[in-house]
A and B are shown apart, each in its own frame.
Chain A
Amino acid sequence: QSVLTQPPSVSGAPGQRVTISCTGSSSNIGAGYDVHWYQHLPGTAPKLLIFGNSNRPSGVPDRFSGSKSGTSASLAITGLQAEDEADYYCQSYDRSLSDWVFGGGTKLTVL
């Protein structure tokens, strides 16, 4: 059971917008810790997608955006493309566990 909760799967048609939620608690996201997001295609290295809740590393398209409110965060992907089909993970820090924590991952399917 992951400390951060994500939906197991989301889907959308090409060109559509999807969002992936990441729900935590008062000991992690709600405690003021940032949320980061990773994109992972199986068999490849996970890729940093969003850091510090809403910042994109160089090279990440602006179709990807992140936000945080209270004990939750969200990743939004607009203008869905086939290449966006991957697993997405959120990550934060938990002060009770003294541990970097991850969401269980969300599989995005582009229909």
Chain B
Amino acid sequence: QVQLQESGPGLVKPSETLSLTCTVSGGSISGYYWSWIRQPPGKGLEWIGYIYYSGNTNYNPSLKSRVTISADTSKNQFSLKLSSVTAADTAVYYCARLLMTTVTPYFDYWGQGTLVTVSS
């Protein structure tokens, strides 16, 4: 059973960079796509971006200028960096595996999420 666990600071100051890591257990990140999704308080889910284990990435156009997703196959982890954060970036951040083998890809395994608050 694949399991994902998010980790990183729960509080980030405005204008700084949010950094989160997702550790995958029960399976290898190799051969798959991995994604970040977030949910601001009281709002819906928003896809942030994905990375293929080899490094190819694709980001939500609305966040593209601020997002970097990277992967480390040796640690079986992938990471998110979101720069120049504001209060609007306060959200629960989820990592998930993205299955790209169908017409419409979907997320088959998720982490439990981590709350990141942007505040001074």
Contacts and interface: CB of A to CB of B under 8 A. Distances in A.
Interface in B43-75: 43-47, 60-62
Given A34-B104, A92-B104, 13 more contacts: A32-B103, A34-B103, A36-B106, A43-B112, A46-B107, A51-B108, A52-B106, A89-B44, A91-B45, A91-B107, A99-B60, A102-B45, A103-B44
Interface of A: 2, 32-36, 38, 43-48, 51-52, 57, 89, 91-93, 97-105
B45 A89 contact: yes
A33 B44 contact: no
A102 B44 contact: yes
A102 B46 contact: yes
A91 B102 CA distance: 14
Interface residues of B, number: 24
B29 interface: no
Nearest to B99: A51
B110 A100 contact: no
Most A C-beta atoms less than 10 A away, residue of B43, B44, B47: B44
Given A89-B45, A101-B47, A102-B45, A36 B104 contact: yes
Nearest to B104: A34
B78 interface: no
Nearest to A98: B61
A17 B107 CA distance: 26
Contacts of B43: 104
A33 B111 contact: no
Nearest to A2: B44
A103 B105 CA distance: 16
B103 to A, nearest CB: 6
Most A C-beta atoms less than 10 A away, residue of B45, B111, B113: B45
